[in-house]
Amino acid sequence: MSRFWSARVHDLVPYVPGEQPKTRDLVKLNTNECPYPPSPHVAGAVAEAAGSLRLYPDPASTALREAAARANGLSPEQVFVGNGSDEVLAHSFQALLKQDRPLLFPDITYSFYPVYCGLYDIAFQTVPLDEGFAVRVEDYRQPCGAIILPNPNAPTGTPLPLREIERLLREHPDVPVVVDEAYVAFGAESAAPLIRHHPNLLVVRTLSKSHALAGLRVGFALGDPALIEALVRVKDSFNSYPIDRLAEAAAIAALDDRAWFDHTVGRIRADRERLRAGLEGLGFRVLPSDANFLFASHPDRDGAALQAALRAEGVLVRHFNKERIAGFLRITVGTTAECDRLLGALRRILRPT
């Protein structure tokens, strides 16, 4: 450790991202990317925007905020844009989730949340998922300064019905509630329609998964203009542009291509159910999932050992070495052929010797 580091940095436990392999021959089902290319309109939009790269981007991302507002029946003042939803979340932690009382989030959830708490010195309290690995809203009835949860939850994939989110908002009218909808397009109900009645609700979205733009880094938040203004203040304090010209043009093209989106999401949902049936046929317990991944455990096999065996077969999946979920694998729904390769590899691994 460098003696020049500050104590805060020394104590930080950084986020560990999923592996991005250097070789191309691996089946990559470990970081929930879309297995299909983005809308064909994206390439043309990027080429056109490349013609004006000598100019700085619009610091307010006006055109993209308008596109996101259009897509969600909101106004541009209800939209905030960032470099991936991770950046939007980071600003939310700083601007909204640091309160006098602790922040609540599920004990098994997106592992970035405790990292942001460490970074911004936010007190937090985790709330256990129920026996079925779902969020139970009544467990959040405790004094708190703010709440954040993904819907569907990650890495479990389990959805929370809209009426439950509404109940959570009714029971906590005075604290910011952030719903991280990174995977909402794959089947869960969005909380965005609740924004009109709940000025404390912030909905965070990404174009990384359902719009196949993980490489671009675009995310946004939807909420009451007062919440959005808090995020803008934090962003402007970094003197940073939200996103660059190429990303903005690509994101608008992707958001406006509803037909591509519906088709791609439909394919992934169909393959998810095929993959679920295949895994269950091999003896796996598979949690209910409304995401583009499945969370599955095998009664006879250790999660870490299965992950390693799959890697040796050329298939990458994610494993979390954490209490209660150490037996599980998080498997991204790939193309039909990729899912078949995974199932074939598992069949070989599980074959009695």
**219 binding ligand PMP? (CB under 6 A):** yes
**38 binding ligand PMP? (CB under 6 A):** no
> Which of 162, 214, 234, 304: binder of ligand PMP (CB under 6 A)?
214
> Looking at beta carbons only, is 296 or 345 nearer to ligand PMP?
296
> Looking at beta carbons only, is 278 or 334 nearer to ligand PMP?
334
> Looking at beta carbons only, is 110 or 133 nearer to ligand PMP?
110
**329 binding ligand PMP? (CB under 6 A):** no
> Looking at beta carbons only, is 86 or 248 nearer to ligand PMP?
86
**92 binding ligand PMP? (CB under 6 A):** no
**292 binding ligand PMP? (CB under 6 A):** no
| HEC per residue, the chain | CCCCCCHHHHHCCCCCCCCCCCCCCCEECCCCCCCCCCCCHHHHHHHHHHCCCCCCCCCCCHHHHHHHHHHHCCCHHHEEEECHHHHHHHHHHHHHHCCCCCEEEECCCCCHHHHHHHHHCCCEEEECCCCCCCCCHHHHCCCCCEEEEECCCCCCCCCCCHHHHHHHHHHCCCCCEEEECCCHHHCCCCCHHHHHHCCCEEEEEECCCCCCCCCCCCEEEEECHHHHHHHHHHHHHCCCCCCCHHHHHHHHHHHHCHHHHHHHHHHHHHHHHHHHHHHHHCCCEECCCCCCEEEEECCCCCHHHHHHHHHHCCEECECCCCCCCCCEEEEECCCHHHHHHHHHHHHHHHCCC
> Looking at beta carbons only, is 169 or 221 nearer to ligand PMP?
221
**289 binding ligand PMP? (CB under 6 A):** no
Distance of CA 34 to the CA centre of its chain: 12
> Which of 30, 208, 264, 297: binder of ligand PMP (CB under 6 A)?
208
> Which of 39, 57, 86, 189: binder of ligand PMP (CB under 6 A)?
86
> Looking at beta carbons only, is 111 or 336 nearer to ligand PMP?
111
Distance in Å, CB of 58 to ligand PMP, minimum: 20
Distance in Å, CB of 219 to ligand PMP, minimum: 4
Phi and psi angles of residue 127, each rounded to the nearest 5 degrees, phi first = -115, 120
**154 binding ligand PMP? (CB under 6 A):** yes
**242 binding ligand PMP? (CB under 6 A):** no
Distance in Å, CB of 229 to ligand PMP, minimum: 22
Return the residues of window 155-194 that contact ligand PMP according to CB under 6 A.
180, 182
> Which of 80, 110, 293, 295: binder of ligand PMP (CB under 6 A)?
110
**115 binding ligand PMP? (CB under 6 A):** no
> Looking at beta carbons only, is 220 or 284 nearer to ligand PMP?
220
**Residue 292 contacts residue 330 (beta carbons within 8 Å):** no
Per-residue tokens: 189: 């109900």
Going by their DSSP bridges, the two strands 177-180 and 146-150 should be labelled as parallel
**150 binding ligand PMP? (CB under 6 A):** yes
Interface positions with ligand PMP (CB under 6 A): 84-86, 110, 150, 154, 180, 182, 206, 208, 214, 219
